[in-house]
Amino acid sequence: MTHSKDNDPVITPVTWRRQARKLDRTTTDLLNVVGWYGSTHAAAMWRKDYEFLQVFKQSGIVGFDPQVDDWDPGYASTEAAVLAKASVVVIRLENNELLNGSLGSIAEIGIALASAALRGQIVIVSIEDNLVTTLDEPGAIAQYMMLELSLEQLDQIPELTRFLQIHRGNDLRELAHMSCRAVEQQKTGCIERLEFDAFLAKKTRRSHNFPLRVLVGGSGGAYADIHEESFLNKRDILIRDYCEEGQAVKILSEGAIAEAWKVPYGSIDDIGVGLAMRTLLAIETEFKQEADVLLLPIMAEAASKAACSEIGFLLFHALSTGQDIRVFLEPFDPVDYLRHQFNDVDFEVVTTQKLRRLALREAGVADEILAKAVEEEVLEAFGVFQALKQGEAPTYLEIRRSILGSTEVFHKADNIRRVRTLVQAHLESLAASKRFSNFFHYSSRIKV
């Protein structure tokens, strides 16, 4: 189906299943639709921009908009399905001076590129002006630096560059025209896919190396001391067989590089942080790309977003080298994470409304949140917090609905949850494809 210029050019997660059947297809069975991925926080309104939408409407080209007011983890599988079938995927990064708005979309860029190489898609990465200058949190800076480093390295691999186009700036009309031209290009003749059999041949040759160079990347540590033993036990299980076989095993989170990461994370100079992280990321990336076997465990006990964000880029690069990548992406429990991130308080001395406010402040609820909260909201939040700390496990929804859901630590947990859920859905979709069997190993559990 080609939409007329009078029709709505937007498909959503709710309408996707019904409308996808009506879309035209390319000669390689991709759908003539543009996936509008990227920043989805409240200030990222680029998908709703009038001039942006008018270009699509006038061109008769349809876009998929995953941004909804109340995102549900169930939408992740739909987003993964569209990313796998769209002839063109746009991923735009906007922070809108939010100081560390979600950069989880960086994770989707790498996965989209890996998908594009296998399926003949075009990926357009759009980055707002001066994005990096609006970041002040080390984790966010690390993710952005990883993106720029990956894009820079991609320029050096001719067989992979044809799948990527880059748009920089805030001209959304220009981005829309760029997207629609890419769709028309795909209609007339899709980009040639990477030769998957050639990748398998390289992978087979590397598997005969001895000793195999085995590198453990992924999560660097547990988010709470109580989980550290479980975290280390899982990592030891993953490397045990390789060690017994006499393979050369290295753990990236140990040694000089791990110690060096303490420098930028302890710095108050944002520019210095960025430069130091870029240097360390370059060193780490070289280690990862040279390994014959790369183990990427993202444990349930870990909170790292950067480790999730790099998976797609590493898979994309592996297509040119035959590297054996093994991903272990365990589910993230935001409730347990919040239990350990909120500060402890002495509940026995909290007997009045005033003391409840002080206790919530001590726990980590900001003054500006408490100043706006009425008595009922404070009472409710304290009850949820007490249940959380005493192991009675309030639901994630109960925490979100209370004023605890407005805290910085909750937003961080929610972002980790969303990134983990999206990456999991994309990896499951890629790993389930029979056309690309033996591309990489994927598991959602580390068997203890």
- Hey, where are the domains in the chain? 10-188, 206-331
Q: How far is the C-alpha of 111 from the C-alpha of 123, rounded, in Å?
A: 10
**Residue-level length of the chain:** 448
Grouping H, G, I as helix, E, B as strand and the rest as coil, residue 441 is: strand
Burial class (CB in 10 A: 0-12, 13-18, 19+), 361: middle
Q: Is the domain 206-331 a CATH 1.10.10 member? A: no
In angstroms, what is the C-alpha Rg of the chain? 23
Given a contact cutoff of 8 angstroms between Cβ atoms, the answer to whether 426 and 106 are in contact is no
Is residue 205 packed enough to be buried (19+ CB in 10 Å), middle (13-18) or exposed (0-12)?
exposed
Tokens of 311: 């998976």
Residues ≥6 apart with Cβ < 8 Å to 377: 402, 403
Q: Copy the structure tokens of residue 115.
A: 């998908």
In the block, residue with structure tokens 């989707």: 108
- What are 265-274's pLDDT values in tens digits? 666 666 677 7
The matching CATH number, chosen from 3.40.30.10, 3.40.50.1820, 3.10.180.10, 3.40.50.450, for 10-188 is: 3.40.50.450
- Tell me the three state secondary structure of residue 159: helix
What's the pLDDT score for residue 296? 97
Question: Which residues sit opposite 7 in a β-bridge?
Answer: none
Q: Nearest-CA neighbor of 279 among 423, 142, 435? A: 142
Q: Are 140 and 134 within 8 A, CB to CB?
A: no
Q: Is 145 helix (H, G, I), strand (E, B) or coil?
A: helix
Query: How much is the pTM?
Result: 0.91
Alpha-carbon distance 52 to 312, whole Å? 28
Q: For 117, which DSSP code?
A: H
Helix (H, G, I), strand (E, B) or coil at 217: coil
Q: Is the dihedral of CA 213, 318, 103, 398 positive or negative?
A: negative
Domains 10-188 and 206-331 share a fold: yes
In sequence order, the β-bridge partners of residue 248 are 213
- Are β-strands 10-11 and 31-38 bridged in parallel, bridged antiparallel, or unpaired? unpaired
Report the 10 Å Cβ neighbour count for 24: 14
Assess whether the previous peptide bond of 211 is cis (omega < 30° from 0): yes
> What CA–CA distance (Å, rounded) separates 49 from 174?
12
SS3 of residue 345 by DSSP: coil
Flag residues of the chain having pLDDT under 70. Answer: 1-7, 41-43, 96-103, 139, 264-271
DSSP string, 378-400: HHHHHHHHHHHHTT----HHHHH
